[in-house]
Structures are given as C-alpha cells and as structure tokens.
Amino acid sequence: MSQEVNKVSKTMVLAVVASSLGFFVDLYDIIIVSVVRQASLLSLGVPESELLAKGIWLLNIQMIGMLTGGFLWGILGDKKGRLTVLFGSILMYSLATFACAYAPSYDVYLLLRFVAGVGLAGELGAAITLTTELLPQKYRGIGPAIIASFGMLGAIFGSVIGGRYSWEFTYQLGGIMGLVLLFLRLGLFESGFYERLQETKVEKGNFLMLVKNKKLFKKYISVILMGFPGWFVNGVVMTFTPEIAKAMGMTTIPKVSTVFMVFFIGFTFGDFSCGIVSQWLQSRKKAIQLYLGSFALLLALYFLVGKTSEMWYYGLFLFMGISAGYTIVLLTLAAEQTGTNLRATATTSSLNLLRASVIPQTIAFTFFNNYVGAYHAAIIVGILSVGIAAWAYTNLEETFHNNLDFVEQ
C-alpha cells in the first residue's frame, strides 16, 4: 500500500515539475514577440512609421493562432488525452519559434508566429487540467500556483534575453528550450479521471455541449471576460509603452524589456500567492475578488502618477503584476467547474480566448488613438476591460469544494 502511495506521489510531483518547465518555455515564447517587436521588424525592412500598425498585427496574428489552437488542443485533450496535447503542442511551437530567427520577410514572420501561436495554445490548459485531476482536493490550488509562478520566470527570462541579445538569438533559444523539454516529459502518466472516462461511452470534447448548456456557457464566458484586465496591460500598455509613455509626456521612455521583466516578477509572486490565498480562504472567488480589486486601484494610480518618473512607472507595473496573478486561480476554477469529458476543452479554449482578448483591445486602442491619442485611448480601454471583468465576476460560482469526478451530459 505504501509503495502505491509513493508511486502516486512521484507521479504528481513529476506532473507539476514538467508542467512548470513547460509553462516557463511557453511564456518565454509568448512575450518575446513584444520584447523584440521593434528590433525584428526594423531588421526585416519595416519602416519606422509602420512599427505600431505592423507590430499590432504581429501580436494579433499570434493571438489568432492561439485562439485557433485553443479549440484544437482543448478538443484533442478530451478526445485523445491530456498527454497528447502536452507533447504535440510543445513540438509545434518550438519548431516555429526557432524558425522565426530565419524569417526572410515580414509575411513569413507573420505565418511563423501564427503557427507558433497554435502550438502555444495547448501548453497551460493541458497542464492545469492534468494537475487538477492528479492532485488531491487540499492541494488542487497549490499545484497550478507552482506551475504558474515558475512559468512567469520564463517571461522574466525572455525579457532579459530579448533586451540583451539579438532578436534572432532570442527566438533560437526559445525553440531549443522547447525541444529539450520534450524529452523530459517522457515519464508523465495520464490522469485517473481521464482513464476511467475512456471506459465509458460518454461523448468527449464536444465544444457544442458548452454552448448548448446555458448555465455552463455563462460560466465559461465569464472566465474569459475575467481575463481582460491582465491582457489589456500585457498586450496594450506594456507592448506599446514607447507610444503611451511619450503621449503621457515622459521625457525618458521606459524600456519595454524592463517593463515586462518587472511586471512578470510581480506576476510570479501574484500567481503563487493567489493560489495560496485561495487555499487559505477555501474560496477561489474571494481570492479573485481581492486581487482584481487591487488591480483596478493600481491601474488608476498608473494613469494618475505613472508618468512622474521611471521609478514610479516600473514600480507600478511590479505591483500590477502581483494583482493580476488571479489568472491562475481563474483557470483552476475553469477546470473545477467542468466535467471530465469537457474539462480540457473548456480550460484550454477559455485560456486562449482569454489571451485573444488582446485582439479587440488593441483594435479599440488603435481606434481611440486616432481621436484622443495613445494615453487617453489606453485609459478608455482600461476602464472598459476592468468593467467587463467586474461584471463577469458576478456570474462565477464557487468551485473550491467541487468533486472533479463527474461528466457533462
């Protein structure tokens, strides 16, 4: 009996470690596009006057790929297993990221970031699904917190590498890290919930079941909308720091790589601490409410005094990163509220629809920028994103004590 317990314990630890390393590489690959945006586009012959417009499209095409991959990998995760996604997705985004270093033109660059986006979509959703199913209830919030906090180090690492080395090397390193990690995952096991599901005739991975069930669909959409604020800061304010800081009247423009680094240092602590807080409070919703409220206050402070100095600018992003750390608890909630036959579909697709929220937000930012300038455009979109998230919060249900061994009919 003790040997069985030890075996299960090792399986859990291996799943958390492998998922943590996977999310490290995943986030590295996601954020380096923003960090090396200007250098890579200039190297490919994009005129300086078109850096903003083509930079937005570069970011959005990756997000469109992630949106596509969110449905693809989510459905495969329920139909073919969580491990299928963990292996297939990392192979795809590693090869595409490595190839970006050799892109001969802007159009090829766009295509490669789309393919990379499809691959990047599968990593975290499958990892959260697998670990929540493997871990006992009293540790269910801690596992994803470890995965997310370690993964955030990948974003910090990407900020440092992208800020110090060439954009080509930044992409090469991302591809190589992913391929190395692929071999480290060979010892992973499938979750018991999914293996038992395989013995039944229950329909698996049918996205339409999420849409047709009004109660389930409302919760599913609310998880997505709750993620708007974090991706507003990441995809709009941080990525376009040069344009926004200039419009704010700052004489010394903060470095994009440094902004990303300090934000994700905060995010690392925020993800881990929010997971612990949710376990301590025995409530996912209360933890999310606490962190979202803090985020709204810090965002308001950023627009009021962020332009005072570089120190204030960087400091506010550090604390906004901490408060945006409710995202991992939100994904844990998404997994806990959905049956085993749709869990990977719901978790992975909601994560990537959440990430894809940067598309309408950058479109809105571009629209308002044409009329009121970058600074005021960012304020308008920021207010909208926080307001949408606050409304979505009211639709969420508590899932802390949910038994995950159930299916959706």
Domain boundaries along the sequence of the chain? 2-184+210-393
Q: How far apart are CA 197 and CA 185, in angstroms?
A: 23
For 240, the 3-state DSSP assignment is: coil
Instruction: Tell me what the pLDDT averaged over the chain comes to.
Output: 87
Q: How far apart are CA 354 and CA 229, in angstroms?
A: 10
pLDDT score recorded for residue 7: 44
Q: Which residue has the tokens 């990047």?
A: 120
> CA-CA distances (angstroms) from residue 395 to 213, 215, 229?
15, 10, 17
Decide: 125 and 70 in contact? Cβ < 8 Å: yes
pLDDT score recorded for residue 8: 44
For 46, the 3-state DSSP assignment is: coil
- CA 288 from centroid of its chain's CA atoms: 16
- CA 192 from centroid of its chain's CA atoms: 26
Let me know the angle formed at the C-alpha of 324 by 159 and 57, rounded to the nearest 5 degrees.
55
pLDDT score recorded for residue 333: 92
pLDDT score recorded for residue 192: 76
pTM (whole model) above 0.95? no
pLDDT score recorded for residue 40: 93
- The per-residue pLDDT for range 163-210, each reduced to its tens digit, is 889 999 999 999 999 999 888 777 777 777 777 887 778 888 888 888
Q: How far apart are CA 371 and CA 345, in angstroms?
A: 40
pLDDT score recorded for residue 9: 60
Give the pLDDT of the chain (409 residues) as one tens digit per residue.
333 333 446 778 888 888 888 889 988 998 899 889 889 999 999 898 888 888 888 988 998 898 899 889 989 888 888 888 888 898 999 999 999 999 999 999 999 999 999 999 888 888 888 888 888 877 787 888 888 888 878 888 998 899 889 999 999 999 999 999 888 777 777 777 777 887 778 888 888 888 888 888 999 999 999 989 998 998 899 988 888 988 888 888 888 888 888 998 898 889 889 989 999 999 999 999 999 999 999 999 999 887 778 888 899 999 999 999 898 899 889 888 988 888 888 888 888 888 788 889 988 999 999 999 999 999 999 999 999 999 999 999 899 888 888 888 7
Q: Does domain 2-184+210-393 have CATH number 3.20.20.370?
A: no
Let me know the angle formed at the C-alpha of 232 by 230 and 237, rounded to the nearest 5 degrees.
115
pLDDT score recorded for residue 352: 83
If we measure between CA atoms, which residue out of 319, 311, 223 comes closest to residue 273?
319
